[in-house]
Structure 1
Amino acid sequence: MSGGGSGASEPAPVVLPGTARFDLTGAEGGPGWRIFVAVPDTPPPEAGYPSLLMLDANAGFASFAETARRAGVRPRATGIGPVLIVGVGYPTEAPHDRERRRFDFTAGPAREAAPPGREVGPTGGSAAFLAFLLDRLRPAIAARWRLDPARAALFGHSLGGAFVLEAFARAPRAFSHHIAVSPSIWWDEPHLLAGLAARDRTAPARLALMIGEYEEALAPWQQGRAGSAEIAERRARRAMVTTLHRFAQAARRELGPQARIVSEVLAGEDHASVLAPAMSRALRFLSAD
């Protein structure tokens, strides 16, 4: 698009150094996914690169890739070694495809009633999405880059964080590390707790749970703004900090002292701002092993 008759052309998309992007189609030609990859500057170690698979990549891949790149330069100072970042998103330029992610990240409808007059859309695609990650995406990445199967993390935020908890419980050997940031446990807490109770006790358990301080109440900068009463009511109803602590306690109780369950409330952050500081913590959680 040009403006004002200047003849200026649309600027080319920015491509981060050391990154790649490609699309994978869905089953039988159905809707596909856009895959983003950030490769460390250093050659892979003998065992292969540690990897971190992040959800909602349209919104957060660039930040995660830059966090990993900068931190990996000085691992002794940061506690973060080189990590290959794999982002899973959708073929759109928007930050989120809300309908697709709601279907992919959930096992069924929310227990919370939808607001009057609002169509929530289809849910229940989490099993098929997990199968895509393991059967389609993982081989496609392994064919291009050497990966360490013993160090493979899954990272998700919000509804993606709830999907991480589902994968942690129902496919415990698929990933070595699970990182759930501000997980939407409220969507179906009984389902997630049932999966946790049924989890294979012989599978290694490394789970990091993170949430912002202001995810159950208004942050100071939100006080008195338009719509703040509605936000406060929703946050109180969903009680995300309380439910995260409750899930962490259940995980420690169910899985025993051999499980590594880390839970952290990030001071001064809310549901949106928590994502950036959670990225470096997630990388350190993976690199610690």
Structure 2
Amino acid sequence: MNPVTLPDAEWFDLAPPGGGAPWRIFLAHPQGEAPAAGYPALFMLDANAGFATLTEVLRRGAVRPAATGIGPMLLVGIGTPEGDDARVRRHFDYTAGPGAEGRGRPTGGRDAFLAFIEQVLKPELGRRFPLDPARQTLFGHSLAGWFTLDVMARDSAAFRSYVAVSPSLWWDEGRLIEGLARPRAMPPRLSILVGEWEQALAPWQAARPEAAEMAARRARRAMVDRAQGFADRARAALGPEAEVRFERLAGEDHASILPAAMARALRFALA
């Protein structure tokens, strides 16, 4: 069987200075001439799980930008090489320390991961493409959504816009709230999206053998209420000049929301 490839896309592995485990970087090249200020760019975390889908959403939307609000941009996916345990890597890379529900995996790599993005990945991309530093977006789902909010709250100058899909605020909500009080030169743009069925069982899940356990976990984590509450806090903390959006996507749960959120994320990044 012949593998399917994405046109104008590539991947390469990039390691931090001094050695250490590399990250796999996926790129989907923008079409057409670069704007005078450079291309806008969206950085997608957990890219092994959805980069190809995001690329196709962008390319389909860019065919009719006036109708979709989606145009050319550079897509940058950050994932892991084959053979790495992505679950272990993401728990370490996306967290600042132990969370409310520890699972025995290492945590605390957040600062090193952000330093890699800022000091290694972005300069490497700048050597390959003309990029607009004022139009860069960080996009993360679940625990990567928690990381996205943490960078927005504590290092907001790293990106202009932030899209957190189903963010795991329950991991360490207190740290995120504390971060909102930090001073910043410019308020970031923030979009938070969460699925309708992330806090309760969806109708098609009610008859599953593990339904009671699922319902208890979802009630405990309170994904919808926490996401709405954090958006309200961010809107108040960041001030009237900030752009903060919250959207609950009907009919979606924690797993199904990601494809549904992609077009919204691209449109928000380019607005």
TM range (shorter): over 0.9
1:105 aligns with 2:88: no
Map 1:111-260; keep pairs closer than 5 Å. Answer: 111-112=100-101, 114=102, 119-200=103-184, 202-260=185-243
| 1:69 corresponding residue in structure 2 | 59
C-alpha separation in 2, matches of 1:285 and 1:193: 23
Q: Which TM-score applies when normalising by structure 1?
A: 0.91
Give the distance between the partners of 2:2 and 2:106, measured in 1 at CA.
35
CA drift of 1:12 comes to 5.1
CA deviation after TM superposition for structure 1 residue 260, in Å = 0.4
Residue 27 of structure 1 deviates from its aligned partner by 3.6
Contact 2:187 2:238 in 1 (8 A): no
Letter aligned with residue 101 of structure 1:
R
Displacement, 1:13? 4.0
Describe the SS at the equivalent of 1:168.
Answer: helix
User: 1:209-241: per-residue Cα shift (whole Å, max 9, x none)?
Assistant: 000000000011111112111111100000010
Shift of 1:29: 1.9
Displacement of 1:198 in angstroms is 1.6
Question: What is the Cα deviation at residue 43 of structure 1?
Answer: 2.2
Q: Is the 8 A contact 2:138 2:159 kept in 1?
A: yes
SS of 1:143 mapped into structure 2: helix
1:265 counterpart letter in structure 2: R
- What CA distance in whole angstroms lies between the structure 1 residues aligned with 2:107 and 2:93? 7
State the 1:16 CA deviation: 0.5
1:143–1:266 distance in 2 versus 1, CA, 3 Å: same
- The structure number with the bigger radius of gyration is 1
> Alpha-carbon deviations, 1:252-287, whole Å to 9, x = none?
111111110000000000001100011000111112
- Give the letter aligned to residue 126 of structure 1: R
Match of 1:267 among 236, 250, 254: 250
Q: Distance in 2 between matches of 1:98 and 1:27?
A: 23
How much identity, in percent, do the aligned residues show? Answer: 55
How many pairs are equivalent? 271
Residue of structure 2 in register with 1:5 after alignment: none
Per the TM alignment, residue 20 of structure 1 is displaced from its structure 2 partner at its CA by: 1.1
Provide the C-alpha distance between the structure 2 equivalents of 1:186 and 1:27, rounded to a whole number of angstroms: 32
Match of 1:26 in 2: 16
Letter in 2 for 1:102: H
**Superposed displacement of residue 93, structure 1:** 6.7
- Which amino acid in the other structure matches residue 192 of structure 1? L
Determine helix, strand or coil for the equivalent of 2:4: coil
1:7 counterpart residue number: none
Q: Deviations over 1:111-148 (max 9, x none)?
A: 23x4xxxx521101001100000100001111111111
| Contact 1:154–1:179 (8 Å) recurs in 2 | yes
- Give RMSD over aligned pairs: 1.3
Letter in 2 for 1:106: T
TM-score scaled to structure 2, two decimals?
A: 0.97
Q: Decide whether the 8 Å contact of 2:16 with 2:120 is kept in 1.
A: no
